Structure formats: C-alpha cells, structure tokens
Amino acid sequence: MAAKKAKAKNKPDAPKAKKLPAIKQKYTKTAILAELADKTELSKKQVQSVLDELSDLIQRHVKKGSAGEFTMPGLLKIKTVIKPARKARKGVPNPFKPGELMDIAAKPKSTKIKVLPLKGLKEFV
C-alpha cells in the first residue's frame, strides 16, 4: 500500500489581538466618555446614554427578586451572594489580645455583590 499524505488544509489564522498602548493614568468618567466617543464615532451624549442603560440593565439583574446574575460576555460576571444571619456569640477569644474574651454581636441576613473576571478579562494581563 502506498502511504497517502494528508493535505494540510488552509485554515484561516485566528484574528490577532490588537497591539494596544498601555494607559499610564486611570481615566475619569469624562475621559472615558471622550475616549469611547472618539473610538466609536458616537457623540458623548450617545455614549453616556449607552452607559446609563448598561447600568440600569445590571441593576435590574441584581436587584431583589431578579435573576441575581449579570454576565458581560468575555469580561465579567456580576452576581449576588446571600450571606446567612449569624447569631451572637459570647466568650470568644480576642485574636488581637491573647487571653482576653470578647462578645460578637449578631448580624442579620444580607445580600452582597460579587464580581468575577471571565477568561477574556484574565487574558488582558
């Protein structure tokens, strides 16, 4: 039998990541709006309305009685975490003053926000 050579298929190369310059100082809200408006060719008012709507969308996802989770595809996931109530404790050793006992007050049930980076955001670093 003659050995057959497998033809290498011409696969299109994966799109290469843009070489973006590093930003040395953190942006203010105004600078962010100006940068996005410049790059997207939208007005600052349009960019502001997009960011406001994104904020409203996140709020509607994480508020009480909602889904409790919002995902910005490839960047981050915002979710709510319910922390159970804690009972009061008496006579607990004080970690800052060995040999001394202290009382810990009770805490009610609460809801916290947790932001998790996704793969795309982790690859930026």
pLDDT in tens, 43-74: 999 999 999 999 999 999 999 989 999 999 99
- Model pTM above 0.75: no
pLDDT in tens, 68-112: 999 999 999 999 999 999 999 999 999 999 999 999 999 999 999
Q: What is the pLDDT of residue 84?
A: 97
Picking from 38, 62, 86, the residue at the C-terminal end of a domain is: 62
Picking from 47, 62, 77, the residue at the C-terminal end of a domain is: 62
Residues 49, 72: one domain?
no
Parent domain of 105: 68-125
pLDDT in tens, 1-12: 555 555 545 555
Mean local confidence (pLDDT), 16-31: 85
Token output for 53: 């709507």
Residues 46, 75: one domain?
no
Domain total of the chain: 2
Residues 58, 72: one domain?
no
Q: What is the pLDDT of residue 9?
A: 52
Q: How far apart are CA 105 and CA 107, in angstroms?
A: 7
Residues 57, 76: one domain?
no
Q: Is residue 8 part of a domain?
A: no
Residues 96, 120: one domain?
yes
Picking from 9, 37, 62, the residue at the C-terminal end of a domain is: 62
Residues 125, 76: one domain?
yes
- In sequence order, which residues have a C-beta less than 8 Å from that of residue 34 and are 6 or more positions away? 44
Q: How far apart are CA 34 and CA 28, in angstroms?
A: 10
Residues 74, 51: one domain?
no
